[in-house]
Amino acid sequence: MSAKPHILILAAGQGKRMHSDLPKVLHEVHFRPMIHYVLDLAKGIPHSSICLIVGHGEKEVREACSSYTGVQYFSQAEQKGTGDAVRRAEPFLSQQKGQVVILSGDVPILSRDSLDRLLSSPSADCVMMTARLKDPGAYGRVLRATDGKVTGIREYADCSEEEKKVEEVNAGIYRFEISSLLSALKRVKSHNKQGEYYLTDAVGLLTQEGKVLPCELKNPEEMTGINDRYALSQVEGWVRDQINREWMVKGVTIQNPSTVLIDHESTFGKDVVIEQGCRIVGTKVGDGAHLKQGSYIEESVIGPEATVGPYAHLRPGSKLGRKVKIGNFVELKKAEFKDGAKASHLSYIGDAEIGENSNLGCGFITCNYDGKDKHKTTIERDVFIGSDSQMVAPIKIGQGSYIASGSTVTKDVPPDSLVFARVPQKTKPGYAKKYKKNSD
């Protein structure tokens, strides 16, 4: 097919089986609204235009898709079926020539390869994608004559018991000649159990005229539509597995990959190890880094040979240099650790810069928020901070300094200083025995 097609995405449905006030196409699949997957696919092929049919939650859908420039919107205020949805774009399509590809906003894992196969299929008034399923469920059935020619499509609700046994189903993905599509839509009636105008009826009319060609999906999983939370979880699992498989093939070790969540934007160097239960979003991970069990990492940079976790939380803006160690139950927020710095246990470090080879003891806290504003803590290189210490920001600890355990530091510390900032210990011999006797 030489001319660039127009692309029409159906995204007006309420998704009643989701049991949610959120429009169905905005439910997230692996960190992103499902409609974004479909828009990315559309954007990725040569095209003349992209149109989005919106309806339920139209304002929210438009806002969620606002970053996709050049998309035209058409409103289906009352959902009267897929045929009626396509009709909403008729004022635009009637002015166009060539072909239109129709995609569903709730089918997010259709691959570029499959779409290319649809586009490169022989010329026909309609090319429809089909799939063969052992358990076809509630999908519309593709009906064929004894010679194999497609004779029609039957929505599941209107299938006879014999037709329900058919394993070939309609994937809901089409390529139409625009003039043929609009002509067929004008003849579609709502004489069905739902009282709706089916796009499949338009396909059926063209089928009767011998103008429809099937294009069978190689991987039927790609046509999975999301109609309920279970289907959502199934598709999320598919996306998760695809991403994890890609990185493992490139040399990343992922232990128990079914428990590891990695988004589309994260990247990994060679010889990275990711243990089970990690969640990694928008993060760049350097060669040889080790992400230990249960770590939650968001929009951060992890340097070569750094270790994180187990059960660490790196919030957005965290940056780790080479051989940095962030240990168990340590939380970072907008904190930069230079090469070799360490925070091994039970600490919160926010709005901070930690110098090379500095060591933060167990229970260390940066007091970065005064109730109104955030303030920065700067710890220079080769600083040792004892356990259970707090830095009240804004504050700067000079290089080579030593902060005694249990200190609450409120003033800047010059380089190579020893700081004690705690209440002096008082010991009263025998007092405990006396106290116990009086409390009996």
Tokens found for residue 159: 């299938």
Tokens found for residue 384: 């040792």
Burial per residue of 152-173, b for 16 or more beta-carbon CB atoms within 10 angstroms, e otherwise:
bbbbeebbeeeeeebebbbbbb
Instruction: For the chain, give percent helix, strand, coil, nearest 5.
Output: 25, 30, 45
Tokens found for residue 310: 């187990």
DSSP string for 268-328:
E-TT-EE-TT-EEES-EE-TT-EE-TT-EEES-EE-TT-EE-SS-EE-TT-EE-TT-EEEE
- Sign for the CA dihedral angle at 7, 10, 12, 18 comes to negative
DSSP string for 363-431:
T-EEE-B-SS-B--EEE-TT-EE-SS-EEESSEEE-TT-EE-TT-EE-S-B-TT-EE--SPPP---TTH
Tokens found for residue 278: 């990690």
Strands in 135-236 per DSSP E:
141-144, 150-154, 168-177, 212-216
3-state class of 191 per DSSP? Answer: coil
Of the candidates 274, 273, 244, which has an alpha carbon nearest to the alpha carbon of residue 258?
A: 244
Q: Cα separation of 389 and 144, whole Å?
A: 76
Catalytic residues: 345
3-state class of 180 per DSSP? Answer: helix
What is the distance of C-alpha 319 from the center of its chain?
22
Number of C-beta neighbours around residue 42 at 10 A: 22
Of the candidates 335, 327, 333, which has an alpha carbon nearest to the alpha carbon of residue 355?
A: 335
Place of tokens 């409390």: 439
Give 175's strand partners. 101, 127
